């Protein structure tokens, strides 16, 4: 891989050039690139961008203007990072580590304006972003998160520390995900939802109520799932949310009745949850509501109202 010292020397020699072409690397003259950064072939770095030491940017990446790549960050091939994004910042934590971990980003990701992704807390750990993900403007990915492949995180969504997002999940705008939560494969989380428990795979979370409201059938069809596979997912969903079973009974039935195919992932996911899973908005059969007692007279009503 070509290294940056050559680029820096040429930049000093030819400051009048608007865009330097250095061994297949295009670096704007106002960009600040550390000599200790490792830059691959066919990389473009735009105006006023900063690349710190101990950074690896592999072939074909494009950094637009004002992009900051902090130390300890690795970008795979073909990533495009838009204006104002900051990748590899220190974890936002009350106990700031002296030596935080790393940020490792895969291939073919699109990271839009003002996205922030932080490094892991521990020196031997990494925040991980897979391949072909789309992070829209203003999204935040905290320390120690792990995102799979083909994930979409839309505008102003916030992922707390240690959050796991599995492949092809969709996190809508302004969603807040509590630390240590998981979002399963092909789950769809509606806008402004508050995620404080795990989101099982293949389901839809309503943004208004933050409860599960059924399978993500649109996402399943777009992903190429067959009619039979979707039918089996529906059956497993009913076991979890409509059967009125205890948690251990749910896990037993999932393991026994859905041992293969996509529906098997329900048991794998649910059996490893530490926070529990988000409830369904519709109550299961036999559930009762604790109704508020109506006041007996008008004077009591005034007292209740303060």
Q: Contact, 144 vs 94, CB < 8 A?
A: no
Domain spanning 4-162 has what CATH number?
A: 2.160.10.10
The pLDDT of residue 286 is 62
167 as an active site residue: the answer is no
Q: Which of 143, 144, 147, 59 has the alpha carbon at shortest distance from 111?
A: 147
- With cut-offs at 50, 70 and 90, classify the pLDDT of residue 298: low
Catalytic residue among 84, 106, 161, 173: 161
User: In terms of DSSP bridges, do strands 62-63 and 80-81 run parallel, antiparallel, or are they unpaired?
Assistant: parallel
- With cut-offs at 50, 70 and 90, classify the pLDDT of residue 171: very high
The pLDDT of residue 254 is 98
279 class by beta-carbon count within 10 Å (0-12 exposed, 13-18 middle, 19+ buried): middle
The pLDDT of residue 14 is 33
Average pLDDT value for residue range 84-98: 94
Catalytic residue among 66, 118, 143, 162: 143
- For 133-162, how does the pLDDT look when each residue is reduced to its tens digit (9 = 90+)? 999 999 999 999 999 999 999 999 999 999
Mean residue pLDDT of the chain comes to 89
Show the tokens assigned to 2.
Answer: 């070509």
Looking up tokens 């690139």 gives 33
The pLDDT of residue 98 is 87
pLDDT of 291 above 60: no
The pLDDT of residue 304 is 36
- With cut-offs at 50, 70 and 90, classify the pLDDT of residue 301: very low
- For 243-287, how does the pLDDT look when each residue is reduced to its tens digit (9 = 90+)? 999 999 999 999 999 999 999 999 999 999 999 999 999 876 665
Average pLDDT value for residue range 95-101: 90
Q: Alpha helix (H) ranges present in 193-292?
A: 217-222, 227-241, 247-257, 264-270
Average pLDDT value for residue range 91-111: 95
pLDDT of 289 above 80: no
pLDDT of 54 above 90: yes
The pLDDT of residue 6 is 35
- With cut-offs at 50, 70 and 90, classify the pLDDT of residue 23: low
pTM of the model as a whole: 0.86
- With cut-offs at 50, 70 and 90, classify the pLDDT of residue 296: low
Q: Computed from CA positions of residues 126, 278, 195, 214, in that sequence, does the dihedral angle turn out positive or negative? A: positive
How are the residues of the chain apportioned to helix, strand and coil, as percentages rounded to the nearest 5? 20, 25, 55
161 as an active site residue: the answer is yes
Catalytic residue among 130, 144, 167, 207: 144
Please give the span between the terminal C-alpha atoms of the chain, in angstroms, as a whole number. 72
Q: Which of 269, 275, 262 has the alpha carbon at shortest distance from 240?
A: 269
129 vs 96 pLDDT, higher one: 129
- For 199-235, how does the pLDDT look when each residue is reduced to its tens digit (9 = 90+)? 999 999 999 999 999 999 999 999 999 999 999 999 9
pLDDT of 40 above 90: yes
13 class by beta-carbon count within 10 Å (0-12 exposed, 13-18 middle, 19+ buried): exposed
Average pLDDT value for residue range 28-54: 97
Alpha-carbon distances of 280 from 4, 122, 149, 237, rounded to whole Å: 54, 36, 27, 10
Q: What percent of the chain has pLDDT over 70?
A: 85
Show the tokens assigned to 288.
Answer: 């009762």
Edge-first strand listing for the sheet containing 170-171: 20-22, 25-27, 44-45, 62-63, 80-81, 110-111, 134-135, 152-153, 170-171, 188-189, 203-205, 212-215
144 as an active site residue: the answer is yes
The pLDDT of residue 290 is 47
Show the tokens assigned to 128.
Answer: 């991980």
Q: How far apart are CA 29 and CA 39, in angstroms?
A: 16
Q: How far apart are CA 20 and CA 93, in angstroms?
A: 39
Average pLDDT value for residue range 154-183: 98
């Amino acid at each position: 891989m070509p290294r940056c010292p050559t680029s820096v020397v040429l930049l000093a020699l030819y400051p009048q050039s608007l865009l330097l072409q250095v061994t297949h690397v295009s670096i704007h003259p106002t960009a600040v690139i550390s000599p200790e950064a490792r830059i691959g072939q066919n990389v473009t770095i735009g105006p006023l961008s900063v690349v710190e030491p101990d950074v690896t940017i592999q072939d074909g990446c494009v950094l637009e203007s004002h992009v900051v790549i902090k130390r300890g960050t690795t970008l795979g091939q073909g990533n495009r990072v838009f204006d104002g994004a900051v990748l590899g910042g220190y974890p936002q934590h009350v106990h700031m580590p002296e030596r935080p971990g790393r940020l490792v980003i895969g291939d073919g990701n699109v990271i839009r304006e003002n996205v922030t992704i932080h490094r892991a807390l521990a020196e031997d750990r990494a925040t991980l972003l897979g391949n072909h993900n789309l992070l829209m403007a203003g999204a935040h990915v905290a320390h120690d998160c792990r995102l799979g492949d083909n994930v979409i995180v839309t505008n102003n969504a916030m992922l707390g520390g240690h959050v796991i997002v599995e492949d092809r999940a969709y996190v809508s705008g302004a969603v807040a995900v509590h630390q240590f939560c998981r979002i399963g494969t092909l789950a769809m989380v509606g806008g402004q939802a508050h995620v404080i428990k795990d989101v099982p795979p293949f389901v839809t979370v309503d943004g208004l109520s933050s409860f599960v409201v059924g399978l993500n059938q649109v996402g399943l069809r777009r992903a190429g799932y067959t009619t039979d596979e979707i039918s089996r997912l529906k059956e497993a969903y009913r076991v979890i949310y409509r059967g009125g079973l205890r948690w251990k009974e749910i896990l037993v039935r999932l393991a026994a009745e859905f041992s293969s195919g996509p529906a098997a992932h329900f048991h794998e996911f649910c059996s490893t949850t530490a926070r529990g899973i988000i409830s369904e908005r519709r109550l299961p059969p036999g559930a009762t509501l604790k109704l508020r007692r109506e006041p007996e007279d008008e004077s009591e009503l005034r007292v209740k109202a303060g």
